[in-house]
Amino acid sequence: MAEKHGYGQFCPIAVAAEIVAQRWMPLVIRELLCGSVRFNDLQRGVPRMSSALLAQRLKQLQFAGIVERRRGTGGGAEYHLTRAGRELFPVVEAMGLWAQRWLRHDLVDTANLDSDLLMWNIRRNVAAHVPQRDRRFVVEFRLFGVPVNRRRYWLVFESGIVDLCYRDPGFDVDLFVEANLRMLTQIWLGHIPLKEAVRDGRLRLGGARAEVKAFGSWFALSMFAAAGAEPAGPGEHAVGESPGARVSAESSFDMPPPHSDRPSLDGDRVKP
């Protein structure tokens, strides 16, 4: 292990920070606490982190006794939290709760929005709420306010497993979900109630009436969503009023006009 750079203090906070407060380290720990054990899955949770740095941080966590490296069932390596690592959960949770109360406007600043990360988190949370079905179920998400190559994602529910596809899997779609990226992020974080967004058209659903109605039963929000629904700390901006999130009425939703070539979302079924 490379030489240790510390604060030179016996303070427990200083010593703990030498390990868990390094750049990217809290996010790597977050991913491990959320259940990711394979390197590629960890990478998908920190898409802006280089694979070389991720490997380095995992080695540091192993050296600190927070993570142990095991051989997985498929032969590849897996990373599992030790007891010391699992006890970091309330630390990471407290950071998230604090940010929801005191840094809420920063969470949805343009620089922090990431469609790949949002959809990966959505996939991970809905995996624990997979509806019981006797056939494949496909949901297509169409996001606006993002580059063209990041506008469409598919969740494929099949045999109790949820896959996230970045390219059209070629299956018939049962439910369409349309929203601006910032809006969907705010919904997922609990800043805007799902029912309210659907009612006023900021999130649009298309499909059979039963599937539209069932959407809220399996679309699981962030673990911090309950805190996001509480009043923000004094001085925080109201939803949609942060400097980074302020947009004109004309461009706020960045939704395609009714005459565009997308399927209509009116009625019981999506009409081509």
Tens of pLDDT, residue by residue, the chain (272 residues) = 444 678 999 999 999 999 999 999 999 999 999 999 999 999 999 999 999 999 999 999 999 999 999 998 888 999 999 999 999 999 999 999 999 999 999 999 999 999 999 999 999 999 877 767 889 999 999 999 999 999 999 999 998 889 999 999 999 999 999 999 999 999 999 999 999 999 999 999 999 999 999 999 999 999 999 999 999 888 665 554 444 433 333 333 344 443 344 443 433 333 33
| CA dihedral sign of residues 245, 250, 255, 256 | negative
Identify the domain containing residue 119 by its residue range. Answer: 107-228
- Tokens 């960045």 -> residue: 254
Identify the pLDDT of residue 234. 82
- CATH number of the structural domain spanning residue 175: 3.30.1050.10
Same domain as 78, residue 184: no
Residue 254 lies in a domain: no
pTM: predicted TM-score of the whole model, two decimal places: 0.82
Residue 209 lies in a domain: yes
The conformation of residue 242, written as its DSSP 8-state character, comes to S
Same domain as 113, residue 71: no
Domain total for the chain? 2
Same domain as 224, residue 119: yes
Same domain as 125, residue 81: no
Same domain as 136, residue 27: no
Same domain as 161, residue 124: yes
Residue 100 lies in a domain: no
- Cα three-residue angle 18-223-30, rounded to 5 degrees: 25
- CATH number of the structural domain spanning residue 37: 1.10.10.10
Identify the pLDDT of residue 43. 96
Residue 61 lies in a domain: yes
What are the start-end ranges of the E strands in the chain? Answer: 67-71, 77-81, 137-144, 152-158, 161-165, 175-180, 203-207
Residue 257 lies in a domain: no
Same domain as 114, residue 79: no
Identify the pLDDT of residue 134. 84
Residue 258 lies in a domain: no
Residue 174 lies in a domain: yes
Spatial CA neighbour of 174 closest among 158, 151, 190: 158
Residue 4 lies in a domain: no
The first and second tokens of residue 8, run together, are: 């030179």
Please name every residue paired with 77 in a beta bridge, in sequence order, or none if there are none: 71
How far apart are alpha carbons 151 and 139 in whole angstroms?
14
Residues whose CB is less than 8 angstroms from the CB of residue 252 and which lie 6 or more positions away in sequence, other chains included? 180, 240
Is beta strand 137-144 parallel, antiparallel or unpaired with respect to 175-180? parallel
The first and second tokens of residue 236, run together, are: 């925080």
How far apart are alpha carbons 26 and 28 in whole angstroms?
6
Same domain as 192, residue 140: yes
